[in-house]
Amino acid sequence: MKVILTICSKNKDKNEVLMPARKRYLSDRIKKVEQISINNKLPFYILSGKFGIINSNELIPFYDKLLKQEDIKNLLPLVRDQLIQEKITEIIFYGEGINTKGWKAYYEIIEKITNKLNIKLEEIIIK
């Protein structure tokens, strides 16, 4: 399955009820990428430093977790299992660039795991 992917955002709705990931994250980038997924009729996923790769409609609680370099090793098995379970074979990844503050670990996870699983990856810069 081909999907659209971006990462979570620091700004989140702090409401204590579970809510769809696409609504939990308060980010213009996420709104733009969601619209791209709608326009292209492709499923929209979000890479979270806490939950791994999740469908944008998945209900998640409020949390505060920035993915750091030292977290990559522990998150890779979860992301691998999620990609296999969701039968994802191609990812169009929208990001702000690997050198943008806070993005490097997310790029590394995506690049490592797609390479390991032979998943086609297209990276697109979005601001």
Summarised one tens digit per residue, pLDDT across range 88-108 is 999 999 999 999 999 999 999
State the Cα–Cα distance between residues 47 and 108, nearest whole angstrom. 12
pTM reported for the whole predicted model: 0.96
How many independent structural domains does the chain possess?
A: 1
The whole domain housing 39 covers 2-99
Q: How far apart are CA 26 and CA 10, in angstroms?
A: 8
Is residue 111 in some structural domain?
A: no
**For helices 104-117 and 72-85, angle between their N-to-C axes, nearest 10 degrees:** 50
At 70, is the secondary structure helix, strand, or coil? helix
Cα 16 from Cα 2, distance rounded (Å): 32
Report if residue 39 sits inside a domain. yes
**pLDDT tens sequence across 35-87:** 999 999 999 999 999 999 999 999 999 999 989 999 999 999 999 999 999 99
pLDDT at position 127: 80
- Nearest Cα neighbor of 34 from 63, 71, 6, 70 is 6
Q: Is residue 125 part of a domain?
A: no
